Chains A and B, each alone.
Chain A
Amino acid sequence: MRKEELQKAKDYKYGFTTDVESIRAPKGLNEEVIKFISKIKKEPAWMLDWRIKAYNRLKKIKEPNWQKPKYPKINYQDLYYYSAPKSAKDKPKSLDEVDPKLIETYNKLGIPLKEQEKLSGVAVDAVFDSVSVATTFKDKLTEKGIIFCPISEAIQKHPNLVKKYLGSVIPVTDHYFATLNSAVFTDGSFVYIPEGVRCPMELSTYFRINASETGQFERTLIIADKGSYVSYLEGCTAPMRDENQLHAANVELIALDDAEIKYSTVQNWYPGDKDGKGGIYNFVTKRGACRGKNSKISWTQVETGSAITWKYPSCILQGDNSVGEFYSIAITNNHQKADTGTKMIHLGKNTKSKIISKGISAGYADNTYRGLVDINKKALNARNYTQCDSLLMGNKCGAHTVPYIKNKNYCSIVEHEATTSKINEDQLYYCNQRGLNQEEAIGLIVNGFCKEVLQQLPMEFAVEAQKLVGISLEGSVG
């Protein structure tokens, strides 16, 4: 390998591609491609109709452009909308039947499925490009009546649940990227927790973008029936590539009466190189509906990757006494950009929301917190607390806070606190004097800054995330 290639490989640990032959839909976005996807997924007619409806809507609307990070125009006709590892066409019945090349990729990522199955108690629905190739722990979950499967499987096997809830939180007409996803989504996870069931393990999906020039359009739907509980983990890495890649996933959560959903994300996609070339566009729509009384949805995200991160995991607090939480760490280094935050829509009485956002900028990066707290006229005694902290490293980066607050009744309380600070040279000196090198010191200080969010993560994620926080900022202080 040439020296610079070696350096690149070193810079991004997960920057490798697996040589697996791919089945692809022809380039471009049209009805034929949507029919191709629907057909290859063996979808019923109602699903295809749903997609076509979204596509027709898409033709009439434009991309939003109010966000802070600008990006070059995306040519939607120049993308592939379906790409699957060929060997997954005949679905494997067990892990033994999975393409060894895929298993090798997972091993490089540090998620050997077989060992995970035994050791960690985490059920992994691994998505490689667009097709789910292996689902583990199914039996244990089936015992409790829990459904955890690729959404393409759920469309065939549980059409009533899918019909009832798909698009019920993010309508097909919502906005450009959500509508695009509705038209062309390929796969993703489906979770249903029956009434009164507490899911006995963390459910986890690893997404991975692989084939060149393939946009990722994942679709996730999680339903927690009355009195149930589930914690879901999403972690991502992607191989390095020079061309920008669009990722427009949709995630919908529904919590019925007394149910709770905890959704945690660690996002570590290819951020582009030091000069801002390449990297993923992470334009994701995540929204949860606390539909039942006393329900709760909690989003935790650690966003360290992608060239541009543009997302607002939100909660619609419909049920009385329902609770929405958003804990976020967004780290941007070099030329990365993030415009992220949340929306808390209070509709029910006594609804509560809490927003804790930690933004860290280094290099030439730009980090924006944008959030909406909207308290409806009928949401009596609603309560919101928002805290936005920004940490700057160096003097070429930016941090911005854009809170929108709408309080439409007389008895609700909204609090907003925001701080901006610079990493302090004397703090670094103090750590150095105790034997910590520069990177250890930064890792320590930044982890301290993010503590309130990190401690929301499930154990197995927290350790990984703490390391990631340090790694993401390597070389950011001279």
Chain B
Amino acid sequence: MNRNYLLLTALLIILSGGLLFLPEKSDINRENPEDLMWDIVQPTRYLSTDKVAKMIIEKDPLLLLIDVREDYEFEEFTLPGAVNVPFDSILTDYADEILSIEDVNTVLISNDDIRADQAWVIAKRLGYKNIYVMKGGLNCWITTIIQPVEPAETSPITEFELYKFRLGASAYFTGAEIPEESGEKKKLNVTRRKKETVVEGGC
């Protein structure tokens, strides 16, 4: 038999034998579907608009806002400090650079929370950590933070406190004047009569 055939035979056996020792493809980074299903039903993955507003006002250094809407929507308006990662580009290197910043709380925002939710599932499956969705999205942001509705008079005190916070936040974000509270005391100008100095008689 030709010596080349023996060499080729040995080569094929070595190459195919090597396949037996190849490790399973590593998908370690990716979250497995069972864990993902568990995470999806957790309410803790949502942050309320009030919580996000508070974090922005307090200049929370761990807050990373990601706007997953299209770039033209992003340019129209967004939350202060938000970064634009359009939903379509979530699998690109650009998105990877932003999402893989460690030790920050990433909050995804969109007009409602559907698009942000979809982005959340993808990002979570890709193995990124500490990712949240702003509940209700920017629509909810407008109705709660920018134009808060005054609670009914019979509401519990916590509602009023929340309303007060929202008014303050609204002023913070829009630069509007806070309407003065009606019960405030007015400073009165009290004019005091000068004491008349009586000319005392000399001698």
A and B interact physically: no
